Amino acid sequence: MSSLQMRFEDIYNLEYEREYFSPGRINLIGEHIDYSGGLVLPCAITLGTSVLLSEREDSKLVFYSDNMQDVGVIEIDLNDLEYNKDHNWTNYPKGVFALLKEQGHKFDKGLNLLYYGTIPYASGLSSSASILMATAVIANDVYELNIDRLDLVKLTKDVENNYIGVNTGIMDQFSIGFGKEEAAILLNTDTLDYEYIPLDLKDNSIVIMNTNKKRGLADSAYNDRRQTCDQAFDILKEEYDIEYLCDLSLDQLEAKKDLLSEGKLYDRAYHAVSENERTKLAAEVLKAGNIEEFGMLMNESHYSLRDKYEVTGLELDTLQTAALSIDGCLGARVTGAGFGGCAIAIVNNAKIDEFIEAVGTDYLDKIGYAADFYVASVGPGTARVK
Ligand code: GLA
């Protein structure tokens, strides 16, 4: 029996009936443009959330997280699914049930649930979307709701936006719902058309570098960045026939620069439009097996997020600069929302140990606490595993 199965029996005095796994994600390129109709290139990783469950006869959802043992068991009634801050992390899974109920779905029995995540907390690798998708897939299976995958993805985004209150785009939920082993997902966040691109990095691997600077999406500048982009879009849609900011070319944007002179409007829009073009190019060079060029585009993406979008900060910039100074590193950038969290680097397999040692030492010297490193494995999307 695995330690998680034993844990389930300890907590619930019952045997578990099913187990699910839901990944986290990294984004290779295409950052902060999934709310501006841009292209993104994320992949699901093998760090993620395991959930064990058994069915109950009553109407209670009983939650326990092995990552938050001090919070203990939290019981929720399926007839009362209002957000409640005393319910701590369980508001995430609860929100999934709340929105499903709003859609008219019925739950005739409760569940005992045990969650355990290997995604470091607040690291920007999407632990919240991982928990949300796990819960949505579980509810869909157990109560036989027959909702298709894309609608589950949209539902979890809705939970994040309207139940939790963070105005994210759809990238995290989509990549976790649609992840595939050894593939990146080129997703058009306007049409939701997508394409799997085989992730063949030749002699290289992706190293995830965690700043260990905690980031809270809700109280961060995330919503502010999004609002600025929406504002730029509102101005530019009077000038061009566009549905999203990322429908523009750089030339079109530059031609209207004068209209965006207030505050940071132009810089933010410049990032969005240029990042979209970069992502298009990055997908092409990745398909062509040109990893060097892919690495250069990752660097450019980081510089744009640092200088134009201003979401990196000292910790991420320190990791990125240190990474690039190491022979065998082809490119490095922040991944996810920024403001702390993680960066990623493409590193030659023979140099990984040396890379981690050198970047880790430099970071500790400059920042005063340690970074963590993980070699990423790209895995499948949310699924039942037992
Ligand atoms: C967070 C959000 C995503 C996306 C990224 C930045 O992860 O949840 O929707 O906006 O930030 O690319």
Q: What is the 342 CA–ligand 1 centroid distance (Å)?
A: 13
Strand order in the sheet with 342-348: 329-335, 342-348, 204-210, 372-375
Find, among 330, 349, 324, the residue nearest to 203 by Cα.
Answer: 349
User: At residue 176, what are phi and psi to the nearest 5 degrees?
Assistant: -75, -40
Ligand 1 near 38 CB (within 6 A):
no
pLDDT at 216 over 70: no
**Per-residue model confidence as pLDDT tens digits over 79-103:** 999 999 999 999 999 999 999 999 9
Q: Atom of ligand 1 at shortest distance to CA of 168?
A: 9
Residue 225 CB less than 6 A away from ligand 1:
no
Lowest-confidence segment of 34-48, 216-230, 362-376 by average pLDDT: 216-230
C-alpha 81 – ligand 1 centre gap (Å): 26
The SS3 call for residue 60 is strand
Q: Phi-psi category of 12—alpha, beta or left, where left has phi over 0 and alpha has psi -120 to 50?
A: alpha
For 277-287, write each residue's pLDDT tens digit.
999 999 999 99
Burial per residue of 127-165, b for 16 or more beta-carbon CB atoms within 10 angstroms, e otherwise: bbbbbbbbbbbbbbeebebebebeebbbbbbbbbeebbe
Residues 54-76 have pLDDT tens digits of 999 999 999 999 999 999 999 99
What confidence score (pLDDT) does residue 1 get? 74
Ligand 1 atom with the shortest distance to the CA of 30: 12
Residue 166: phi and psi, rounded to 5, are -110, 130
Q: Averaged over 197-220, what is the pLDDT?
A: 86
To the query of whether residue 172 is one of the catalytic residues in this protein, the response is yes
Distance of alpha carbon 65 from alpha carbon 91, whole angstroms: 13
- Rounded-to-integer distance, Cα 176 and Cα 156, Å: 11
How far is CA 327 from each of CA 323, 346, 349, 376, rounded to the nearest angstrom? 9, 11, 12, 20
Q: What is the pLDDT of residues 369-385, one digit of tens each?
A: 999 999 999 999 999 99
Confidence of residue 34 (pLDDT cuts 50, 70, 90): very high
The active-site residue out of 10, 66, 148, 172 is: 172
Nearest atom in ligand 1 to the alpha carbon of residue 32 is: 12
**Does ligand 1 have an atom closer than 6 angstroms to the CB of 359?**
no
User: Given this model, what pLDDT does residue 120 score?
Assistant: 92
Taking phi over 0 as left and psi of -120 to 50 as alpha, with beta for the rest, 2 belongs to beta
- Tell me which long-range contacts 229-238 makes (C-beta under 8 A, separation of at least 24): 229/35, 229/36, 229/268, 229/269, 229/272, 231/265, 232/260, 232/265, 232/266, 232/268, 232/269, 232/272, 233/36, 233/269, 235/259, 235/260, 235/265, 236/260, 236/269
169 lines ligand 1 (CB under 6 A): yes
Q: Which two tokens stand for residue 243?
A: 């549905």
Tell me which H or E stretch contains 357: helix 352-367
Per DSSP bridges, beta strands 111-117 and 204-210 are unpaired
Return the residue whose CA atom lies nearest to atom 9 of ligand 1. 169
Report yes or no: 35 and 226 within 8 Å, Cβ to Cβ.
yes
* Rounded CA separation 5/313 (Å): 41
- DSSP category for residue 167: -
Ligand 1 pocket, residue 338 CB under 6 Å:
no
**Going from the N-terminus, what domains does the chain have, and what CATH number goes with each?**
3-197+380-384 (3.30.230.10), 199-376 (3.30.70.890)
Q: What is the pLDDT of residue 358?
A: 98
Q: Compute the distance between CA of residue 60 and CA of residue 111 in angstroms, rounded to an integer.
A: 7
**Could you tell me which residues are beta bridge partners of residue 194?**
187
**Is the pLDDT at 219 greater than 80, yes or no?**
no
* Beta carbons within 10 angstroms of residue 386's beta carbon: 12
Residue with tokens 């539902």: 155
Is 380 in contact with 181 (CB distance < 8 Å)?
A: yes
Q: Compute the distance from residue 201 Cα to the ligand 1 centre, in Å.
A: 24
160 lines ligand 1 (CB under 6 A): no
Distance CA 305, CA 313 (A): 10
Atom of ligand 1 nearest to the CA of 160: 8
Band (pLDDT 50/70/90 cuts) for residue 202 is: very high
Q: Please, what is the end-to-end C-alpha distance for the chain in angstroms?
A: 12
Q: State the pLDDT at residue 70.
A: 95
Token representation of residue 338? 């920024």
Residue pLDDT, tens place only, 2-27:
899 999 999 999 999 999 999 999 99
